[in-house]
Amino acid sequence: MSNKKVVETYLEGFNASDHAKILSCLTDDVIWDMPGFFHLKGKEQFDREIENDAFVGSPTITTIRFVEDGNIVVAEGTVKAKMKNGGLLDALFCDVFHFDNGKIRQLTTYMMYKDQPQSISNQRGNNMPTINPYLNFAGNTEEAFNFYKSVFGGEFTALQRFKDTPEAGKIPKHEQDKIMHIALPIGNGNVLMATDTLESMGQKLTVGNNFYITVQPESKDEADRLFNKLSSGGKVEMPMQDAFWGSYFGMFKDKFDIQWMINYDTNQRK
């Protein structure tokens, strides 16, 4: 089978949402790149992206032109797909396929939307985890975030004080109104989050330990995988567990002394 024929089979699989047909065209270590949006490696990640929760039914892919040159095949065309939010993906695409022994070893996808361009994360329900900064303040989180709000605009999407938590009875009165969690959207998919450190809980803020990188994966299994791999050789502060705010959550410092939080929102399964 020619490389061009393999690409045709691959695209037929996408039109029919036929996972087996698509995966049969790929090497086990296949790489799928969409520059600026995602980088996937291996059939498992590739397969998850095929089954994208943002869409309804199968896409309609129409190929306008093929170019084959040795181990490279370029396919150009259009793609349309219905989205769960009622929208429509309507775009031009250019796929560049690199082959190894008759199978697709690497795919680079370029897309241009016919209507208003949107982030591929919003259009396709990107399955990659979301990463946001999480800051610690020495009791002045609320002041800091009111300042950030005056700069970026918008509204807080979360604001919870320590007096509202199950541990409120253990917290001194003068710390009851301190911020346990606050979140402020500051752009397309970006959220700035923070908490107050409490002396009564033995917490002491120093420059360098006052931020975390927060990862929000798409599944509980992915949360466990990221936690186990990133924390390897580091120090676990809180193992992955169900948290009172409705998430599956864990904290650790990696072997390079970078602090991480893994937070899977269990409500997103519903």
Mean pLDDT by 10 residues, the chain (270 residues): 94 91 95 71 86 77 90 91 76 90 92 50 51 83 87 80 78 90 77 84 69 84 89 89 84 80 74
Q: How many CB atoms lie within 10 A of CB 59?
A: 16
pLDDT at position 18, please?
Answer: 92
Domain ranges of the chain: 3-124, 130-269
pLDDT at position 158, please?
Answer: 83
Give me the architecture of the 130-269 domain, per CATH.
Answer: Roll (3.10)
**Domain 3-124 and domain 130-269 have a common topology:** no
Distance CA 217, CA 125 (A): 12
pLDDT at position 120, please?
Answer: 40
Cα 41 versus chain centre, distance: 15
Distance CA 184, CA 194 (A): 9
Residue type, 19: H
pLDDT at position 128, please?
Answer: 58
Q: Angle at the Cα of 159 (from 186 to 209), degrees rounded to 5?
A: 70
Given the DSSP bridges, would you call strands 130-137 and 191-196 parallel, antiparallel or unpaired?
A: parallel
pLDDT at position 180, please?
Answer: 87
- Residue 26: its H or E element: strand 26-34
pLDDT at position 28, please?
Answer: 95
Distance CA 76, CA 62 (A): 9
Q: Which fold has domain 3-124?
A: Nuclear Transport Factor 2; Chain: A, (3.10.450)
pLDDT at position 270, please?
Answer: 46
pLDDT at position 207, please?
Answer: 61
Q: Which residue has the tokens 């320590």?
A: 162
Q: Which residue has the tokens 């199968």?
A: 58
Nearest to 141 by CA among 203, 216, 215, 217: 203
